[in-house]
Amino acid sequence: MDDITNGSHDLGGQDRTTQGVADQPSLFRDNRMTFAAGALAFSLLAGGLGWAWAGNAAGSSTQASSSITTTAPVATGAYPSPGSAYAPGAAQGGLPALPQDGAQRIPYGDMNAADTSSLAGLDVDTPTDEQTAGIVVIETDLGYSDGEAAGTGIVLTEDGLVLTNHHVVAGATSISVTTADGATHTAELVGSDANSDVALLELTNASGLTVAETDSAPNLTAGDAVTAIGNALGQGLAAAPGTVTALDQTITTQDEGTVEGQELSGLIEIDADVVSGDSGGAVLDADGDVIGLTTAASSGTRDIAGYAIDIDDALAIVDEIQAGSESGTIAIGYPAFLGIGLATDETTAYSNGTLGLGLDGAGGTSLSTTSNGVEVAEVYPETAAAAAGIVSGDLITAVDGVAVASQDELSAAIGAHDPGDIVEIAWSDSSGASHNATAALTRGPVA
């Protein structure tokens, strides 16, 4: 199995357009799990061309998946991955890229509402009806970060099961899917495997949908012709022709805020021009059958290398999700949500503009974590924390009678519950007075 290694990278403010990129490759992947979510290193092309983490348009990694619009000047209480925070203006649903020494990271969020980026300079065509059969456009609202994201999905059943990347929907508070006939459906998360970057959605009130035809990727060989179909740059479905350049590839994705990497293996490497918005889209073989799920791509080079999850591997995860097989990597449904925002590490926070980020303990070491508890930076309305009477500046000391002294402990305590569960929260206020209250946990964003 070939392995692709990554070097260091910076958080440059470069915007990933279709022309004028440097000849130095970098790959980044944005993989999030809300409360204890994780981001990656390769450039994922998945959901969300742009993410509204902080209102600064600073660069981060390139994802080939979606486009997101940031609306808030500062995102206080977004959901960075565990132990880190996303860079300012980073779009969490784009294609991740592989970083290399000296390479400049391109923002996950390539596009925003006013963006006029075009596909000029890319080898892309208007897809045929046959190529778009069973391929859908996914849009998400990132309610706690005042952002939007967009990516692509693959229809698996006539009644509305849709396959996509986890990072396309990570952080979403609502999801909508538009099919080839122009109909838009609300979608709910069935389950996901953040480590493998696979998510399964179910459309509401859907029937008679065109299902994508799949084929076994093991039949592929290097040199085979392929076409990547996706919501390129959030501008609608486009076809990017190419060839298979390698099989069984391993890439290491890197979190925006840390040097820690996450591995994706068994990937198909292609030389098609996949870009942000393509995440969750289909890689078709010469017969028009789906053989891969687009998930990452290189950036900072004129010669784009795309990466796709073998469709057999993706469908195996779908089977586990449908069986309700929740495990260390597979999560079924939505997480429980206490509804608080916590600060990240001070140095990281001030350098990347994410001070105040972190939901229910996600996002690294809190500025205000002490041996006595975890200080609250923000409380979100209509959540358990708000109902309990917790306010900014309070120090959470225990959940269900068990002491919490760090963000990780708080995240784990909430993560052990389901939405609707009643929990007892203990905290102290700024005067030092102790309080206890019970409240029902709400449904959190996609983790």
CATH classification of the domain holding 247: 2.40.10.120
**Pair 127, 7 in one domain:** yes
Q: Is 73 exposed, middle or buried (0-12, 13-18, 19+ CB in 10 A)?
A: exposed
Cβ proximity of 394 and 375 under 8 Å = yes
**Pair 319, 367 in one domain:** no
Segments forming the whole domain that contains residue 289: 1-333
Distance of alpha carbon 410 from alpha carbon 373, whole angstroms: 9
pLDDT for 288: 97
Q: Kindly state the DSSP code that residue 160 receives in the 8-state scheme.
A: -
Which value, in Å, is the radius of gyration of the alpha carbons in the chain?
A: 21
Number of domains in the chain: 2
**Pair 258, 339 in one domain:** no
Q: What are phi and psi of 83, to 5 degrees?
A: 80, 10
Distance of alpha carbon 359 from alpha carbon 337, whole angstroms: 8
Distance of alpha carbon 146 from alpha carbon 124, whole angstroms: 31
Distance of alpha carbon 315 from alpha carbon 317, whole angstroms: 5
CATH of the domain at 381: 2.30.42.10
Task: Identify which of 410, 437, 440, 436 has the alpha carbon closest to the alpha carbon of residue 422.
Answer: 440
pLDDT for 28: 34
**Pair 43, 166 in one domain:** yes
Residue 277: how many other CB atoms lie within 10 Å:
39
Cβ proximity of 66 and 170 under 8 Å = no
Q: What are phi and psi of 246, to 5 degrees?
A: -165, 155
Domain boundary among 290, 309, 333: 333
Q: CB within 8 A of 116, min separation 6: which ones?
A: none
**Pair 363, 291 in one domain:** no
Domain boundary among 318, 333, 348: 333
Q: CB within 8 A of 20, min separation 6: which ones?
A: none
**Pair 346, 321 in one domain:** no
User: By three-state DSSP, how is residue 282 classified?
Assistant: strand
121: left (phi over 0), alpha (psi -120 to 50) or beta: left
**Pair 325, 410 in one domain:** no
Task: Identify which of 340, 346, 348 has the alpha carbon closest to the alpha carbon of residue 410.
Answer: 340
pLDDT for 78: 29
**Pair 349, 381 in one domain:** yes
Domain boundary among 283, 299, 333: 333
**Pair 288, 424 in one domain:** no
Distance of alpha carbon 263 from alpha carbon 425, whole angstroms: 36
- Give the amino acid at 222: A
Residuewise pLDDT in 10s, the chain (447 residues): 444 333 322 222 222 222 222 222 223 333 322 222 222 235 555 443 433 222 222 222 333 333 333 222 222 222 322 222 222 222 333 444 433 332 222 222 223 332 335 787 789 999 999 999 999 999 999 998 889 999 999 999 999 999 999 999 999 999 999 998 999 999 999 999 999 999 999 999 999 999 999 998 778 999 999 999 999 999 999 999 999 999 999 987 653 333 445 689 999 999 999 998 999 999 999 999 999 999 998 765 667 899 999 999 999 999 999 999 888 799 999 999 999 988 654 433 333 333 344 566 543 334 444 558 999 999 999 999 999 999 999 999 999 999 999 988 999 999 999 999 999 999 999 999 999 999 999 999 998
**Pair 282, 339 in one domain:** no
pLDDT for 212: 98
**Pair 67, 139 in one domain:** yes
**Pair 111, 259 in one domain:** yes
pLDDT for 32: 28
Residue with tokens 């099961």: 161
SS3 content of the chain, % helix, strand, coil (to 5): 10, 35, 55
pLDDT for 120: 78
